[in-house]
Structure 1
Amino acid sequence: MSERPIAVLGECVADAFVTSPDAAPVGALGLEVFPGGGPANTAVALARLGVPTRFLGRLSQDVFGRLFRAHLDASGVDLSRAVKAAEPSTLGVADLAEDGSADFSFHAQGTADWQWRDAELAAASAGPVACLHTGSLALVREPGGAAVERLLGDVRERATVSVDPNVRPLLVDPVVYREALPRWCAATDILRLSDDDLAHLRPGAGPEEAADAFHADGAGLVVVTLGAGGVLASLRGRRVRVATPRTEVVDTVGAGDSFMAGFLHALYRAGELGGRLDGLTVERVEEALTFGTRVAAAVVAVRGANPPWAADLGLPATRG
């Protein structure tokens, strides 16, 4: 890749959806399994948009791991630094509500995604990158979470750091996120949260109040996605909001991950990534938010985390 890539660090999860009762034998539960996981979804969406993207993940050698590799590779993601892991893959089973929202039950004990060691991470992250985007469960589940957190400080010397906590209270107590968040803010340039994340991390606080607290802890740019209420961003205290496009929602799986891909894509193409965002303007942030909502709208209009390609959005289908 001739350009410095965006590196995305985190988990792959096999997302299983219950099929129609008519599609399964009597007495059995039919499942459709799709490659997912927040960081992997973001990597796929970035690559499909034409951004040089490297995935830093621990990919199992089991049937789901092979599914992940095929999906990431077909989307144009660089897997040269992905670890071939001996442990099994993580499985999430989605329970979809009538409005398309999804609650997941996870099968994640001892799986490949959480076993990072410092030496593995140093090798995976070596070399020039414009941005490291991470978060979700890989940043909090042990034994590897602490190693991922240590990496943030090292990478920040040479790249923009982006963190998306993506709170999963069924797997990790939100107290763990709340205790770690000040440290993440001190190490990150971009902090993205959903309104659900905010409810767990700062109960009762509005997005503006929360953004001020995150700024005080060190995060220069805070982005809060508010579902149908649009998106709020705060750039060192300067606010901007954009509306969510009107969209027929099939489900919301991967919406936040794809929004973040669109947002980072816009900043990357504008030449804003690589450092501390010192030259970033509110106007540029608004443009990036708007593009992120376009990408998210395309995802919620289809089943599962299936991000659009550049051509679907009228963009040149090129990478560096």
Structure 2
Amino acid sequence: MLHPGPFAGVTVLGECVADLLEDPSRSTPDGLTLRALPGGGPANTAVALARLGTPTRFLGRLSDDAFGSLFRARLTSSGVDLTGSVTAAEPSTLAVADLDPSGQATYTFYADGAADWQWTDHELAAAPGDDAACLHTGSLALVRQPGGNRIERHLTRTRKHATVSIDPNVRPLLVPPSAYRERLPHWCAVADILRLSEEDCAHLAPGEGLEAACDTWHAAGTRLVVITLGERGALVSLDGSRVTVPAPSVTVVDTVGAGDSFTAGLLHHLGALGHLGGRLEALTLEDAAGAAVFGARVAALTCSVSGANPPRADEPGLRSAWHGSGHVQGPEGHPA
């Protein structure tokens, strides 16, 4: 693939969110102590990509409040390029996380009027992007208005020279699932890759089996659909040819950022194999499955530590996952 500039990495467009978690060791009956951790699905994906070694640019509207400073510090320390991000006067988005005994997180959001959703056409037109091999977006920034429709138009322009990846990351407490279902056909028409969770599918295709849902999204235009299944691995569907890949066994501390890390591992592996930069013309099911195996390992390592703290490229478990991800067993025990 030819690109006009030297970057040819992954641009991630979306929100930063401050995840507020209780610190039980410092909470008392008189007061609840919260710890603020930098998060947000797109920001987590950008951090994970950069830590894996993929050149990564983040396009976000970062508030000039204290949380915005926290976001900038995390992204830059992980090696993410912020030159395309906008400094915004609006406040940062906050999410209070509740963890159940298994480490699964649920969130209460404080997002009205936040910086993340206020993209203008002028800001997006001025953002660098012609030199990227892939643009990844999704989550709340793609569905909340007024910025969501403007990002959709930006995707249409960007796909002329870059692979487009979308993670819907349905948040029913903030946006009705019907709003995602209404926009999903438009997203599939511009997306080459759709990465979503089994829980997302329950909202986006209620009452429909996963394989039938994949076929619907293929018919709408998306070539590669990857559905994460938690401890059961991931379903990989390329133009209707499918395989399920396993998830590695891991002691789960919590699941915060696991799906975002999976997406980063998937895109990193596809990029390393030379598949990003167009319409995935040369992608095989075996290569797609290998990328999902690597993504599952990145997600597992994220689950093994507290918070959205994805691993770096020199993590021993990632080196072994990389070398073992080229050959994946299909449903009948044959190579995919």
TM-score, normalising length from structure 1?
A: 0.96
Report if the CA contact (8 A) 2:93-2:116 is conserved. Answer: yes
Equivalent position of 2:34 in the other structure: 31
Which residue of 11, 14, 17 corresponds with 1:13? Answer: 17
Equivalent position of 1:90 in the other structure: 93
Tell me whether 1:170 sits opposite 2:168 in the alignment. Answer: no
- Correspondences of 1:263-278 after superposition (within 5 Å): 263-278=266-281
Which residue of 225, 230, 233 corresponds with 2:233? Answer: 230
- Correspondences of 1:34-183 after superposition (within 5 Å): 34-183=37-186
Which residue of 233, 241, 245 corresponds with 2:248? Answer: 245
Write the letter of the residue equivalent to 1:24: S
Q: CA deviation at 1:5?
A: 1.6
Equivalent position of 1:318 in the other structure: none
The CA distance in 1 between the partners of 2:228 and 2:290, in whole Å, is 15
TM-score, normalising length from structure 2?
A: 0.92
Q: CA deviation at 1:24?
A: 2.8
- Correspondences of 1:282-297 after superposition (within 5 Å): 282-297=285-300
Matched positions, count: 314
Q: CA deviation at 1:25?
A: 4.8
State the superposition RMSD in angstroms: 1.1
The CA distance in 1 between the partners of 2:283 and 2:277, in whole Å, is 12
Query: Which secondary structure state, in structure 2, belongs to the residue aligned with residue 310 of structure 1?
Result: coil
Report if the CA contact (8 A) 2:130-2:161 is conserved. Answer: no
The CA distance in 1 between the partners of 2:166 and 2:256, in whole Å, is 19
Choose 155-164 or 305-314, whichever is displaced more: 305-314
Identity among equivalent positions (%) equals 61
The CA distance in 2 between the partners of 1:56 and 1:250, in whole Å, is 30
Write the letter of the residue equivalent to 1:73: T
The CA distance in 2 between the partners of 1:219 and 1:280, in whole Å, is 13
Equivalent position of 2:220 in the other structure: 217
Misfit runs of 4+, over 6 Å:
none
Give per-residue Cα distances to partners, 1:250-280, cap 9 Å, x unaligned: 1111000000000000000111000000100
The CA distance in 2 between the partners of 1:302 and 1:212, in whole Å, is 35
The CA distance in 2 between the partners of 1:307 and 1:275, in whole Å, is 27
The CA distance in 1 between the partners of 2:53 and 2:193, in whole Å, is 21
The CA distance in 2 between the partners of 1:72 and 1:143, in whole Å, is 25
The CA distance in 2 between the partners of 1:86 and 1:240, in whole Å, is 46
The CA distance in 2 between the partners of 1:138 and 1:67, in whole Å, is 19
The CA distance in 2 between the partners of 1:9 and 1:123, in whole Å, is 13
Write the letter of the residue equivalent to 1:14: A
The CA distance in 1 between the partners of 2:130 and 2:244, in whole Å, is 35
The CA distance in 1 between the partners of 2:127 and 2:199, in whole Å, is 31
The CA distance in 1 between the partners of 2:6 and 2:185, in whole Å, is 35
The CA distance in 1 between the partners of 2:268 and 2:259, in whole Å, is 14
The CA distance in 1 between the partners of 2:283 and 2:228, in whole Å, is 20
Q: CA deviation at 1:3?
A: 3.9
Write the letter of the residue equivalent to 1:164: D
Equivalent position of 1:193 in the other structure: 196
The CA distance in 1 between the partners of 2:20 and 2:147, in whole Å, is 25
Query: Which secondary structure state, in structure 2, belongs to the residue aligned with residue 252 of structure 1?
Result: coil
Report if the CA contact (8 A) 2:275-2:282 is conserved. Answer: yes
- Gapped regions of structure 2 (runs ≥ 5): 320-336
The CA distance in 2 between the partners of 1:33 and 1:232, in whole Å, is 33
